[in-house]
């Protein structure tokens, strides 16, 4: 009876944790595509985030159980606007990287202890996950935003979560 009660309490506790928190480790790497970008006539060559994307970026910090020690974003405006509010809230620098040089980025990530977040693009996230030795998505549709993958540093399967806000 005690064992069953303890199991039910554990399940109840897990149910109230933020999405993805139960699976997090203090040494995980999280890789995500930037949040929803501007589109249409005013977006330009380097679009920033849409109003919805900016609201999502402001709430990104609430998703992590273990605070990232480092936050990396490609040099595009939309990636930096996705990662910037989290980096500011955590008091860590927003470190930019050249999306055309993934090996250099991953060398920097491997030298960083603790939780790391990388913000990339639909055409770079799958490659970064594979280069970390993990199995992840083959591609990310250009219309999908809000997915984040927890990638074990020792490889394995990248676990996908959908951020719990619209």
Domain boundaries, position 51: 24-162
Count up the domains in the chain and report the number: 1
- Asked if residue 94 belongs to a domain, the reply is yes
Q: Is the pLDDT of residue 106 over 70?
A: yes
What is the side-by-side strand order in the sheet with 159-162?
94-97, 70-74, 116-120, 29-33, 147-151, 159-162
User: Would you give the distance in Å from CA 128 to the centre of its chain?
Assistant: 12
Is the pTM above the cut of 0.85? no
140 inside domain: yes
Domain-embedded: residue 16: no
pLDDT given for residue 164 in this prediction: 84
Domain-embedded: residue 19: no
- Per-residue DSSP letter, 23: G
Of the candidates 114, 112, 109, 113, the one whose C-alpha atom is nearest the C-alpha of residue 134 is 109
Distance CA 158, CA 160 (A): 6
pLDDT at 9 over 90: no
Residue 42 forms part of a structural domain: yes
> Which CATH number do you get for residue 122?
3.40.50.1240
Does 9 reside within a domain? Answer: no
In-domain check, residue 148:
yes
% helix, strand, coil for the chain, step of 5:
35, 20, 45
What pLDDT, on the 0 to 100 scale, is given for residue 166? Answer: 67
């Amino acid at each position: 009876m005690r064992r069953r009660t303890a199991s039910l309490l554990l399940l109840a506790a897990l149910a109230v944790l933020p999405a993805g928190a139960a699976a997090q480790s203090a040494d995980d790497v999280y890789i995500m595509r930037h949040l929803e970008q501007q589109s249409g006539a005013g977006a330009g060559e380097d679009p920033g985030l849409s109003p919805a994307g900016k609201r999502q970026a402001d709430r990104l910090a609430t998703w992590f159980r273990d605070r990232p020690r480092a936050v990396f974003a490609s040099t595009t405006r939309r990636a930096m606007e996705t990662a910037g509010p989290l980096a500011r809230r955590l008091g860590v620098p927003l470190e930019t990287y050249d999306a055309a040089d993934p090996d250099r980025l991953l060398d920097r990530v491997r030298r960083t202890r603790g939780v790391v977040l990388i913000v990339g693009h639909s055409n770079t996230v799958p490659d970064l996950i594979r280069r970390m030795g993990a199995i992840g998505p083959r591609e990310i549709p250009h219309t999908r935003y809000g997915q984040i993958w927890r990638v074990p540093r020792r490889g394995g399967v990248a676990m996908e979560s959908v951020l719990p806000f619209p």
